[in-house]
Structure formats: C-alpha cells, structure tokens
Structure 1
C-alpha cells in the first residue's frame, strides 16, 4: 500500500505507526511505499522517503489578529499542495494520506490527489468557555482577544469541510468539537511502550543521579514533568505547594523536568521565564538544595525519574494531555493529578491515583503529603496505575486499532493474505481379499 504522511515535524505522532509499517516491509518485501512530507529537519527513518517543503515566512504583524492563523494555514496549504505535485510528478500516488490537520498542510491535497482518502489528526477545538481559555482567573483573557481564539479554528473548520476521515486520542479531545463534527472523528487511544515504561522496584535500592540531583534510597522523590514550565501545566500551583511539602517532609527532594520556553498560553507580563517568576514569588520559602530544575533531559533519564518517583504531580488546564502522563501511569507512578477532564480521563481518584483541584496549591500540598505518608494507599494506586496502562495504553492495541481503521477506510488489508497451502491428495488404502 502507498502511504503519504504529512506533519510539519517528521515523524511527529507517526513514529510508531511507521515502525509497524516498516515491520510489514521486513516480513513482506515491497508491501508498502512510505513517503513523508514535512518541513526540513534532521530526522530520518530507514525505508521512509522524506520530501520537504519550505517553511512559509512569518505572517505580518500588521495583519488583524483574528486572521493570522488563517493566513498562515493557507500559506502552509499552498506549500503542501506544491510538495504534493512534486511527489505526483515522480509517479507516486498514495492509497491513503495520513497527517496532522493542525497547521494546514493537508487542506489542498484533495486537489493534488483527487479521490484519495485522508485520515487527519484532529487535536483540539478552541472555545471561549469550558476549556483552557479563562480557566485560570489569575490570567484572564481580555474580551477583545476572543475573536482571535475563534480564528484559531480556521484550520479545524476547513479540514472538517473536506468531509474526510479523522482521529483523535481521547474522549475529551473529541468532545471539544461541535456535535456535528464528532461523527467524523474516531477515538484511537494512543499507547506507550509498556516494556520500556514499566515499574522498576530495584530503582529504590540504590542512589539515582540525574544532572545535579541525587536521590538516595532513604529519601522521597517528588517529580514534575512538562515540555515547558508554565501555568497551562500547573507549574505555578506546584511551586506554591512546595514550601509546605518541603517543610513537613525533610526527606523530600524534588525534580522538575521542562524548559523555560512557552508551549501554551502567554509569556509572563513581567518578562523572563515562568521559572524565574515563581522563584521570585516563593524561592525564599524553599530549600533550593532540594529543588532541582533539570531542564530537558534525555528520554532514558526521564523514565528513570518516573520509575524512582514517590509522588508524580501532573496538572493541566482543560487541554491536551501530555505523553508524560501516559508514561507515568505505565511506570506505576503514584500520580497526583488535577481535576480537569483532560487528566481524569486517565487518573481515577483512589483507583489509580489521587485527584486534586488544579489551581489550589494548599490542596495539592495536602494530597502529595498524603501520597508520601500512606504507604498502603500508594502501593494500591501504583498497582492501579500500571493496570490502567496495561488495559488502556498498550502500544500494540493502539497500533492494531490504527491499522484496522486504515483498512476500513481503504477497503483492503494492509498485509497480503497468507498463501494457501495446497491440500494433499487423499490416498485410498488398498484392501486385499481375505
């Protein structure tokens, strides 16, 4: 089968699906041809032909704010269209196009490859009420900017108007879309490598060193992970909870993994990073020899911290759940999660974790202390976290569901049927007369 994948940052969400298709080719040579259209980057995968398009120039600041998302998405749509024409000129015609609708590259591919089905990733539908916007009263959005939020849905709406196929990884993400649109979007729960992300009881028997952090077997490790340290992931709530946690538990050390950039939301009005802002607010109340800002760490160190964690804090506005939450559950972490639908789809209170109000730092501190003090409860919830991951987050199940949906769309199996084994002719036994 011929696949055209599209994502601005190869391989994006498609690493594991691509590996599955590569495995098909190893077992059955020439089963799939894999082409991936992307902006230039240094990533490569054997057996995947990468085709790049030029990143469009930035949109002029003079353009009205509400129209900037639309302008950039249409530029990307044209770049994607031109890239598709080059692929077509080389004689390649996909049987299916699989890609992320977030930036617009796929909007005009129906013109380049008419009749070819498109399976698009629908990540999030922006709203003024009920999701991330104005969730946190500490950082209200001015009413004058509401139009720009609605403008961010221009790509979503144009993609839905293609009347093709869609998928999203959680019920919560699907629910953000209008009722009329949800019928186009299939939920395919994303999985993690349960063999790589698994509990390691031995990790508590020896010291663990990551960067400037060393945690001994006698100490308790509280972990926090986000792509970047910012309010969307409850960083401010976590920092405000630390003074009480550290004061009441002298044996606690804290690791914070994440950068100082902005992934979601606005930068601090005061300037600088959110880490600097929160250290100015609460730094004098903290024993900073026990609080370690590790920045962005290699993946194996990230997993080592999760496996050693005594309490893993995952907070989020009503937005898209991070991969780290899935990994923490698979590693059997004692997860303390926020009470938003984003998190509670994964973390069930007192079944596989503890749930606490997202913006209440006093309640967060109380909940983390409970997790550290009640060993019997922690053991039960760790076991529940791993069981939830095995039942809902297995990579094999995720890939099998993805492949089944592709087969449903295209109308034929991804793999050729096994060859029929010719039946051996039956021989009659010779009967001799008595």
Structure 2
C-alpha cells in the first residue's frame, strides 16, 4: 500500500506510526517543509517543498489564518502534482491538516482515502476562550465570529476525509458531532521503557555540583514559556516556593517563542516579562537556585524528569502536553492544574495532585506537601506510571491501535471518489 504523510514538521505526531508502517512493508512517502533536500528516514521517503514568496497583501485580520492555510495548501498541492505527473498515486493520505497543507489533495487523488490528525476544533465559548481573565478578549462578542473563520480549515477537510484520529477525548470532543463521529481516540504513545524511573540518574549544570535523586528538584516544563501553559502562574508562585523550600532547586525548561495564545509586547518575551515581575521578591541567592535551561535534547529532558522530586504542569483547557505524560511515565509526583485535559490522566490524590489553575497558594502548598512526603510521592508516582503503561504505552497499546485504525480506514469507501463519479 502507498501511504502519503502530510505534516509541515514531519514526522511530528507520526514519528512512531510512519516508520512502523514502512517496516510493515508499505511504501511510505512524506511531503514536508521541514527538510531542504529529499532524504530517507527509517524507511520513509521524505520530500521537501517550499512556500512561495508573496508580497504582503491587505486582507481582513480574521482571514489571515485562512490565507496562510490556502498558501500552504497550494504549495503542497503543487509538490503533490509533480508526484502525480511521475505516476505516483497514494492509497492513503495521512495528514495533520491543522496548517492547511492537505486542503487540495483529494482533487488530485479522489480515489485515495484520507485520514486526518485532529488536534483541535476551536471553541468560541468559555473556558476555551477567555479562560484567563488577565488575557481576556477586549471584545468578547467578536470571538465566536473569529473562531468560526478559524475553523474553516476543518470544514474544508472533513467532508473529503474518511476518518480522523485524536490523541485525547478532550481534543476529539471539541469537534462538532458530524466530525466527532469520524474520529477515533488513540494517543500517539509514550515510550514507557525509555521514559522510566532511573534511581542513579544525575545531571551537572555549570557552576554547580552534580544533581542527583537526593537533590530536591522541582521541575516546570513547556515547549515555550507562555501564559497558555501557566508560566505566569508558576513564576508568581516561585518566590513563596523558594522561601518555603530553602534547599530546593527549580529547573525550568522551555523556549522563548510563542506556541499558543497572544504574543508578548514587541521586543519582549513572556519569560522576560514574568521574570522581571517577580524580581523584587527574589534575592541573588534565590536566583542561584533557579535554572532556566531553554530547550534541551530529549535525552537530557528525560534525565531531568527522572530527577524530579515534584513536577509542576499547568495548562489552559487546551491540547495536553507530551511532557506531562512522560513525567508520569518516569514516575514523577505531579502537581497539575485542575483543567479538563489534565483530568483525563490525573485523578486527584491517585495519580497526582490537582489545584485550581489560578490558586498560587494552593500550588505552593501542594508542592511543599509532596516535597516533604516521600511515601505520597512514591504512591502517586507509581500510580501515574502504571496508568501510562496500561493505557498509553507506545508498543503494547497505542501503536497497535494506530495500525489497526489504518486498516479500518482502508476498509471505508473513498468519499471523494463517490463524488467524482457523480
């Protein structure tokens, strides 16, 4: 079977599924913006394409998102057309359609099946929007209008797709019923053999003695340090946390860019803004116990999680981070925000502790409680790891389910072919 993967940052969420399908004997190709030249990766032929240079044009601000998606969709379509002219025709298109690249591919190949990676359908109401009053919309009555347009990519894709897959129920349930009925919930998978407890782990940071499991390490990790992932809440709690835990070391991992939500004022980063906000409550010795590591290789990231005495995870009602689940797989004791996506994997005082997203005092209290209670940490960490193994293990649960889902998709009649025949 010929399978075409579409992902602007391939392999992305297909990093396990794509090589598994190639290993099973399928002819796997990927179109992506990530590479400069054609290459092979774990049995997958990866082909590049580029976005065209375009002069800035005046469009309504609400249409900028769609304009970007159409630009990407056209570029991907042109690369795909070159493949079609060479005689290539996929049996299955597996696409992360969130950036629009796969928008026109069924016009080329109506008899192929198309399955979508369904990350999110943008909701207009609370708590999906204006969850955080500090960053609330200036004109909230406009948001339903803007969100309707932001979802045009979903509405352009789903009528031409046979099926979808979503990593969590929370994400799948954001889609309207006519789309949700096509979506299978199956997580991308956690490599619980790699993300596992490691008693002898240590790391050395410049200017400090090696940190081991005997060091009181508190961790906070985001792809980027920003309000959507509660960076501002954690930083505002940091001075009180350091006072309460005078031996603690705090390791913060994350970049300076913006993944979600609004951008900071021009020339600034959210990291800078909230670091400066708490500066008058911090001493030089306090800062010496706080370690901003930026973005680090996954192996080092995992070692930090294996060291963590208490791991803190905060998020708006949004896509659940892999980092939380990898921390759970490492057996970390978790303190997390009591928000809907988190409740899918953490039950309070069973697999972690939950606190109100905005309650900094409760956050500090729960961190301190776990930092001083080794039995509670062991109990919660073991239960968290057991849950990851039982429901989210890559090799025994998620990857077999994804492979079975591909077979299920191929058993469906191609909807675009039916329309082409009419």
TM-score past 0.5 threshold: yes
Residues 342-387 of structure 1, C-alpha deviation per residue, up to 9 Å, x if partnerless?
1111111111110111122111111111111122111100110110
Note if contact 1:40-1:54 (Cα within 8 Å) is conserved in structure 2.
Answer: no
Q: Are the equivalent residues in 1 in contact too, given 2:114–2:161 (CA < 8 A)?
A: no
Quote the residue 2:204 is aligned against: 209
Indicate yes or no: 2:11 matched with 1:11: yes
SS at match of 1:391: helix
Aligned partner of 1:38 among 27, 32, 42? 32
1:80 Cα offset (Å): 2.0
Give the number of the structure whose alpha-carbon radius of gyration is greater.
1
Is 1:340 the counterpart of 2:336 in the alignment? no
Separation in 1, partners of 2:281, 2:53: 45
Give the deviation of 1:44 after TM superposition.
4.8
Instruction: Tell whether the 8 Å contact from 2:80 to 2:105 is kept in structure 1 after alignment.
Output: yes
For residues 306-352 of structure 1, give each alpha carbon's deviation from its aligned partner in whole angstroms, at most 9, with x where no partner exists.
00100000100011011111111110110111111111111111111
- Residue 149 of structure 2, aligned match among 129, 148, 151: 151
3-state secondary structure, aligned to 2:78: helix
Q: Which residue is equivalent to 2:415?
A: none
Q: Distance in 1 between matches of 2:390 and 2:96?
A: 26
User: How much does 1:130 deviate?
Assistant: 3.0
1:112 to 108, 111, 130: 108
User: Matched residue of 2:31: which SS?
Assistant: strand
CA distance in 1, matches of 2:348, 2:371: 16
- Which of residues 137, 158, 165 is equivalent to 2:133? 137
CA apart distance, 1:61: 5.9
Deviates more, 1:303-312 or 1:10-19: 10-19
Q: Whole-Å Cα distance in 2 between the matches of residues 252 and 178 of structure 1?
A: 46
Structure 2 alignment gaps of length 5 or more: 413-422
Could you tell me whether the CA contact under 8 Å between 2:31 and 2:46 is conserved in 1?
yes
TM-score (norm 1): 0.88
The 1:113/1:387 distance shift into structure 2, 3 A limit, reads: same
**1:210 and 1:175 mapped to 2: Cα distance?**
42
Structure 2 SS opposite 1:135: coil
Query: Contact 1:336–1:367 (CA<8 Å) still a contact in 2?
Result: yes
Structure 1, unaligned runs of 5 or more: 25-30, 413-434
| C-alpha RMSD of matched pairs (Å) | 1.9
* Pick aligned residue for 1:83 from 79, 85, 93: 79
Q: Is the 8 A contact 1:6 1:105 kept in 2?
A: yes
Q: How does 1:136-285 map to 2 (within 5 A)?
A: 136-143=132-139, 146=143, 147-203=145-201, 207-210=202-205, 214-269=210-265, 271-285=267-281
TM-score by length of 2: 0.91
- Contact 2:19–2:43 at 8 Å: present in 1 too? no
Q: CA deviation at 1:195?
A: 1.0
What is the rounded CA distance, in whole Å, between the counterparts of 2:228 and 2:136 in structure 1?
A: 13
Q: How many residues align?
A: 403
Q: CA deviation at 1:22?
A: 3.2
In structure 2, distance between residues paired with 1:381 and 1:61: 54
1: distance between equivalents of 2:296 and 2:78? 37
How far does the alpha carbon of each residue in 1:116-157 deviate from its partner, in whole angstroms, 9 at most, with x for none?
A: 110111111112213442000011112275233332111111
Q: Given the superposition, is the C-alpha separation of residues 299 and 211 from structure 1 closer, same or farther in structure 2, using an over 3 Å criterion?
A: farther
Match of 1:20 in 2: 20
